Structure 1
């Protein structure tokens, strides 16, 4: 009996080693094109990926897109062309730890840092004094709330926000229902590094798909694009660190919800009520 377990152990070790060293999936032609058409700028020694397209000639309108967790700026590719028909500049970035941006570890990822990166990008593009329209989703909603708070403080060097459009994001910690895997990763302690290393496409796709509406779920190829973005630069290994934004949202609720409660600019919220993470009607009633 002892020899049987020894044999199983000897077989399991190389299999586990091979599994942990599975290379990230290759970029699809569409995702490769997205990366090739983008650029990088440096924020405190870290490379941040962004897209910047010129659209309507003669229009002063600029829109900055803030993506959700755990994906990237590529989330916006289906509406990118449509936005260029409405705005003069369409800008999106991969937040630090996401997509093609750097993913340092260990690193204390915070919403405050992500907001500062957005401000730094606009300074890099020479747009720091322009009025900006923000379009955000999920994780990006919290970054937008921090940018809104800074804007309301009227400090020099801060983003001047013309309008804000939020979409399905947990802007209220009391109505936010994180997925089981998110709970495990953000509070898992010593378990988190193990889970991030064992995560694969099957676990990722099974966990993410239910967040979409029944008629708008991504195709398998789109899910592979999302997974490729996560695996780029070993991004799966920082997911637990990125998820600390859920704890930050609770800690700084007064700051971020307060910024929304006293807003003076045009604001719009796009809400899909089948969202299992921000459930109806509790979320909508609190927003109203």
Structure 2
């Protein structure tokens, strides 16, 4: 009997400790450097982290980087220096609920709000009248499509988009296959609070590793930086709320896919074909069938869901070919 209670204690005490909240890991030197590079502004009473870097002289081009789920603007670190050599200003932000931005609990996160956040940031930076190039990945793809819809509708106060480059985002609900844990988190209100509190580094790294190619896996240090960014401001506790984007994509498919298929803004897709979430060839065939005005780059067969991290050189070469083509 004593042994039985001992086993229960050995199992339950660590789980209880996790549930009651283990402090987030400390920022690595690399992540601390990114944190120090950034600034903050207030959006609807929330603090938003962003970076605004002045780059190439003699250019007036501005590129705005929109990151994916469940990470942050730090996803662009491997292409940041090169982009600064090409563009006059390179701007990246952490969406509300991500990275170093606020992550309010009980908040109804929406693509519409995130798009308004991007607009507010550019207004804050004095770029309201500037033509901007959007470079997006995953979650950021859908935010970019909302911005595209607003831009093409010529609604006052919205951005003027010079070009849009997407990469590996679930923009078509019919070809999007979220991971099992994502489906449970977005749809199971009973289990979600428990699962978000029980999230740990091991579960996180295995889940994220599954959407990288077998030959392009992050290093342990890179996994830890992703995990640290997620845990900052208790981001694990809002994963279920942020994942409502999946349901929003289905609900507003006509609005966002319609914007993509009807726009005259120059478009490009950079695609890692080993992506299990937006699998090849289903995703790219549908994209090419529907989006006739877009050019497409399919990267090496070993590249998966995070092309800017797995193959930064190939990603940049594809993007620069696109940018230099108009």
In structure 1, the residue matched to 2:118 is: 118
1:212 deviates by 1.3
Partner of 1:152: 152
Secondary structure at the counterpart of residue 157 of structure 1: coil
Can you list the C-alpha shifts for 1:17-71, whole angstroms capped at 9, x where unaligned? Answer: 3233321111000000100110000001000000000001121100000000000
Alignment of 1:186-205 (within 5 A): 186-205=186-205
Give the Cα separation in 1 of the matches to 2:183 and 2:173. 13
Q: TM-score, normalised by structure 1?
A: 0.97
Distance (whole Å) between structure 1 residues aligned to residue 217 and residue 282 of structure 2: 23
Task: Report if the CA contact (8 A) 2:18-2:197 is conserved.
Answer: no
1:23 aligned to 2:23?
yes
Q: What is the alpha-carbon distance in structure 1 between the residues aligned to residue 97 and residue 131 of structure 2?
A: 27
**1:45 aligned residue:** 45
Contact 2:15 2:198 in 1 (8 A): no
Q: Please, what TM-score do these two structures have when normalized by structure 2?
A: 0.86
The alignment partner of 2:25 has SS state of coil
CA RMSD, aligned part only? 1.3
Residue 215 of structure 1 is matched in structure 2 by: 215
Task: Give 1:272 shift.
Answer: 1.0
Q: Secondary structure at the match of 2:225?
A: helix
Q: 1:12: Cα distance to partner?
A: 5.0
Task: Give the Cα–Cα distance (whole angstroms) in 1 for the partners of residues 46 and 274 of structure 2.
Answer: 37
Q: CA shift at 1:219, angstroms? A: 0.8
Further displaced range: 203-212 or 92-101: 203-212
Runs (4 or more) in structure 1 with deviation over 6 Å come to none
Alignment of 1:122-137 (within 5 A): 122-137=122-137
Quickly say closer, same or farther: Cα 1:213–1:153, change in 2 above 3 A.
same
C-alpha separation in 2, matches of 1:250 and 1:237: 24
Cα distance in 1 between the residues matched to 2:175 and 2:184: 19
